[in-house]
Structures are given as structure tokens and as C-alpha cells.
Amino acid sequence: MIEFRKANLAFSGTVSTRYRDEAGVGTTIRWSPITLPNSGVARTKAEGNSGNDITYDAQTEVAVTLTINQHMYSAFELEEFERNLSIVDQRRWYTEAAAYVLNVSIDDTLAALPDNAGTNIVGTLAIDLTDEDIRAADQGLNDANAPGDNRFFVMAPATKNSMLAIDRYASSDFNRGGGSNIIRGEFGEIYGFRSMVSTNVEGSNAAGHDNSLHHRDAFAMAMRMSAKTRRFDDIQNLSEQLAISAIWGVVETRDDHVVWGRGA
């Protein structure tokens, strides 16, 4: 058995997830308020009780609407003769593959969001990101009062390659506690960003990639139905059928909590 290789799906684990069992396909979930563009101001209270009434702030929160509009599945049919003559458990392998394909689709919907970051952009497509770019992204989130924890830098392998040329990222001399900064699918921590490497970042090596430097609350995902598996025996052609499906929706909730890292 030559097993196919799976991408490291980084986006799904770096966003806020909410479950709403009462919502179906096409249903919208409306949070209000989810951002606070107007949180009020502090005013000086004039002395005296006559003609010195206080002023009430008019709240102008902007609601964020998440539409559950993704209904995807992956299915296969395994013929009885083939299944019984195989020396490996084909159903298990194909089931894992179907589940992976579905997870890729979920991750894809999130990977498509970073380039909607508006003016929060650093770097240039097909050009290596620099340390100055990463520091600018860090400042952007700090200026937006984004919490210092739960920050992520999801990068393409080509971007990781460019990061390796920067000593402060790759050398153990800059790692608290010693040891290498590069561990499996992760690339250590950069300025408080937990960095993840994924081939599912949008783009290409020729055109550049849409890397994302974001706080967890920049995006939200609502899973109406987590991956559900169904198995049937088809007596007409003596085969086994299996399908896995899921229902979800995603939205960018805070534009100022994500920076589009255009890079190699």
C-alpha cells in the first residue's frame, strides 16, 4: 500500500468555532454586537443638579452575520469481490481518505478569508516576507487591541523557506530554553505568533501565497453538522457504499484582527 500524503490543515484549529443545532443549510447566524466600533467616551460631570444632565452614548455596534451555506460530502463504493481479495482493509483506508477530503474543504473555506483583510496587508506576492513585515503585522494587531494570546501565523512552505534565512527565527540562540525553533509542522513562535506551515495556504510558488497572521477571533466557523458517516450495502451490485458529509459556514468577524501576509 502506497499511502497518499495529507496536507497539514492549519486554519481549522486557529479560528473561533460556534455550534448552532437549530440552524440549517442557508440559515444565517447573527451576533450583535460582535464588534464595538463605538464603546462610548468618558465625559466630565458638571457640578450642580440643575441643567447638568448627563449625556447617554448612542451605541452603534455592527452585527456580523454568518451564513451556513456549505454542504459538502465525499463518497465511495467498494465492490465485494475487490474488498475480499485485498490484503489490506480497503474500507478503512478509503474512509480515512474521504474524511480527509472533507476536512480539506472545510479548511479551504477558511484559507480563502485572509486576503479580505482590507488595508491590513504586509509584503508583496512572490517576494519573501521580511522581519520588518512580521513586526508590522504584530503592530497592526497591537494597534487593534487584539489579545496577545491565541495569535497565529499560517504560512506556506515557500514562506517557511524564506523564514529559515532569518537567524532570529531559525537559530536556537534566539529560542528561550534552547533547542531548535523548527518542530514538525510548526515553525516555532515568532513575536507571539504561533506559526503553522500548511500547503493549504492559497496561492502558488510562482504567484505567491496568501499567508495569514491573525488572532483566533478574526474568523468564525459554525458547524451545523460535523462530519457524519453513512454506510450502506447495495444488494443490486454486491457492493458497500459509504458517504461522509458536513454542513458549516465561515465569516471574517474582525477585519483588524487579521493581516494578509503576501509572500513567496
Catalogue all structural domains in the chain, each as residue range(s) with its CATH number. 11-38+62-263 (3.90.1690)
Report the relative pairing of strands 208-215 and 16-18 from DSSP bridges: unpaired
Looking at residues 10-39, what average pLDDT do you find? 64
What are the two backbone dihedrals, phi and then psi, of residue 82, each rounded to the nearest 5 degrees? -65, -45
So what's the pLDDT on residue 179? 43
By the 10 Å C-beta count (0-12 exposed, 13-18 middle, 19+ buried), 239 is classed as middle
Closest by CA to 134, choosing from 113, 118, 152, 149, is: 152
For 233, residues 6+ apart whose C-beta sits below 8 A from its C-beta are 239, 240, 241
User: Is-above-0.85 flag for pTM?
Assistant: no
DSSP designation for 183:
B
- Asked whether 217 and 253 are in contact (CB, 8 A), the reply is yes
Residue 51 has which C-alpha cell? 441643567
The pLDDT value recorded for residue 18 is: 62
Cα distances (Å, whole numbers) of residue 41 to 46, 156, 157, 256: 16, 42, 46, 21
- Kindly report, residue by residue over 149-190, the tens digit of the pLDDT: 999 999 999 999 998 888 777 766 665 544 445 555 456 788
Return the amino acid letter for 26: G
Spatial distance between the Cα atoms of 263 and 207, rounded to a whole number of angstroms: 9
Q: Which of 7, 101, 30 lies closest to 249, judged by CA?
A: 30
Mean pLDDT of 56-76: 84
Pairing of the two strands 208-215 and 258-263: antiparallel
Say what the pLDDT of residue 8 is.
Answer: 81
Which region holds residue 71: left if phi is over 0, alpha if psi is between -120 and 50, else beta?
Answer: beta
